[in-house]
A and B are shown apart, each in its own frame.
Chain A
Amino acid sequence: MSIWEKLTKIDRRYIYLMLLLVVMIPIIVPFKLHPKPMPPVENLFNAIDAIPPEKALVISVDYSPDTEPELHPMTYALLRHAFARHKKVGILCISLLGLGLAQDALSTVTNEFNSVATTHADSIINGRDYVFWGWQTMPLVPILGMGENIAKVFPVDYYGNKTDTLPMMKKIKNYNNVALLVSIAGGESPFWYITYAQTSFGVRIGVGSTAVMATDFYPYINSGQVTGMMSGMKGGAEYEELVLTKLGIKGRRKATEAMSSQTAAHLWIMLTIVLGNIGYFALRRRKK
């Protein structure tokens, strides 16, 4: 077998092994790359920054454990940003599996803030600074229902408290009191929010999506129906960069950490494609 033939027939086990190495090595020996935020991410950041005190940011945690490495850092970054700016946050889940992930992100980020808080006002308190509404069956029920009355859709929060008795909920009644709703999803739930919440109630929508799903949402960015978007690990890393540079919050940045592995993996895949094409063209020339 000639070298050109070998280039077109690399055993998949070697490709797998190399991919494993290029992903593992940057995890063991990390090198941090600072991503440059793209306009959709900056727009999302600015939209959250501009939320007035009487309105809330709603985060819909719509992903499951399979996409957790890609999407969970986005939830962390959004919560850090919102809590640092003292924005009111409402959290819900369209996906049942999102409940545990939302709870994890909330407890981690609130602990980060509360461990350094010196006064009661600085602390992040359930019911005052955020409400975790939990999950409601059938996506259309919460998406449309929140346009009329959030407390009716979620009579009790995730922890069993009566929603309408919570201090934050005195002012947050429905979508009129929501400045921005960010759906973080590995699937199609942002579409439902765009179709029903944005179109019917005019609520502004932000999206956090996996890289493979991101292209589906670009038409809505162009039309103005989506205010901003984080796409994939890169989007999460860009948001983390903004949180670091503009707010000075130095919590663990999982998406930025993972970007080194992703960079190495992308370069490796590109290299295999180049090698395959070199072999292909060399063989074709020989045949001619």
Chain B
Amino acid sequence: MKVRLPLLLVLITGIFGALPFLIPHHVIQTADNEFRNSVLVIIGAFSLVLGVGSIIRHHMDKVRRKREHWGYSWVLLISLLITSIIGLFGGIDGNGSLPTHIGNFHFDIQTIFIRMEVPLGATMFSILAFFMSSAAYRSFKARSFEATLLLLTAFIVMFGSVPLSAYLIPKLPHFAEWILTVPSTAAKRGMGFGIALGGLATSLKIILGIERGWLGGTK
């Protein structure tokens, strides 16, 4: 039963998910609307609760067992608690029941998000530029014909992507755009067909119960 019930659920929901795209009959369409607007929203809300619960449990466990870097788990838990309280009761832009400013010092959820979350996130992502520059220097060597072609293409696209190129070689940005629009798109399209067919085959295997890895075992 532990295996059959999830398999049956996947079979029914999998087929039902595809039907509305193939059958325009109003009974199917209405059922699909209800399923999407009610059932999916409820499942989504539960997954949010599950996600928050899971992250709290994981980090509480880390703190309790004093695992490596357990101090950071405290930072996460305290931040989660504080921002949740401010977010729930402080309202947007600090217009809720909870006071979210002391004089000119504002700590409403929007201010916290824009002044803390955004710079932190952007900083983490910007570090990639440093790794990319080092990796490009080390790996972009014209060792073969293919590597040379790749190198030249990268040069054209990189230089074509900056406004300076339009001043120096007016046609270069258009040539860079052509590379993206024609050869790159041709390759992408081929890959896209392959990925779509692979996805379709895997989906069918899951719906029909042939692929059972998602159950957490092979039996």
Chain B residue numbers with a CB within 8 Å of A200 are 21
Where the two chains meet, the residues of B that have a C-beta atom closer than 8 Å to any C-beta of A are: 21, 33, 36-37, 40-41, 43-45, 47-48, 92-93, 109-110, 113-114, 117-122, 124-126, 129-130, 132-134, 136-138, 140-143, 151, 155, 158-159, 161-164, 166-167, 173-174, 177, 180-181, 184-185, 188-189, 192
Chain B residue numbers with a CB within 8 Å of A54 are none
Asked if A101 contacts B118 (CB within 8 A), the reply is: yes
Contacts A16-B130, A66-B122, A270-B159: A138 and B41 contacting too (C-beta < 8 A)?
Answer: yes
Where the two chains meet, the residues of A that have a C-beta atom closer than 8 Å to any C-beta of B are: 10, 12, 15-16, 19-20, 23, 33-36, 38-40, 64-69, 97, 100-101, 103-104, 107, 136-138, 140-141, 144-145, 148, 152-153, 158-159, 200, 211, 214-216, 218-219, 221-222, 232, 234, 237, 259, 262-263, 265-270, 272-273, 275-277, 280-281
Complex Cα–Cα for A276 and B181 (A): 30
Asked if A137 contacts B41 (CB within 8 A), the reply is: yes
Chain B residue numbers with a CB within 8 Å of A153 are 37
Contacts A100-B117, A215-B188, A259-B162: A69 and B142 contacting too (C-beta < 8 A)?
Answer: no
- B interface secondary structure, majority: helix
Asked if B134 contacts A16 (CB within 8 A), the reply is: yes
Q: Which of B36, B117, B161 sits near A211, CB closer than 8 Å?
A: B161
Name which residue of chain A comes closest to B164, CB basis.
A263
Chain A residue numbers with a CB within 8 Å of B143 are 280
Complex Cα–Cα for A140 and B110 (A): 26
Instruction: Offer 10 A-B interface pairs, CB within 8 angstroms, sorted by A.
Output: A15-B134, A16-B130, A65-B119, A65-B121, A68-B122, A107-B93, A211-B161, A218-B181, A222-B181, A263-B164
Complex Cα–Cα for A122 and B195 (A): 50
Complex Cα–Cα for A66 and B133 (A): 19
Chain A residue numbers with a CB within 8 Å of B159 are 266, 270
Chain B residue numbers with a CB within 8 Å of A33 are 162-164, 167
Quote the shortest CB–CB distance from B97 to chain A (angstroms).
Answer: 13
Q: Which of A145, A221, A263, A269 sits near B163, CB closer than 8 Å?
A: A263
Quote the shortest CB–CB distance from B13 to chain A (angstroms).
Answer: 13
Quote the shortest CB–CB distance from B22 to chain A (angstroms).
Answer: 12
Asked if B48 contacts A137 (CB within 8 A), the reply is: yes
Asked if A152 contacts B37 (CB within 8 A), the reply is: yes
Chain A residue numbers with a CB within 8 Å of B132 are 269
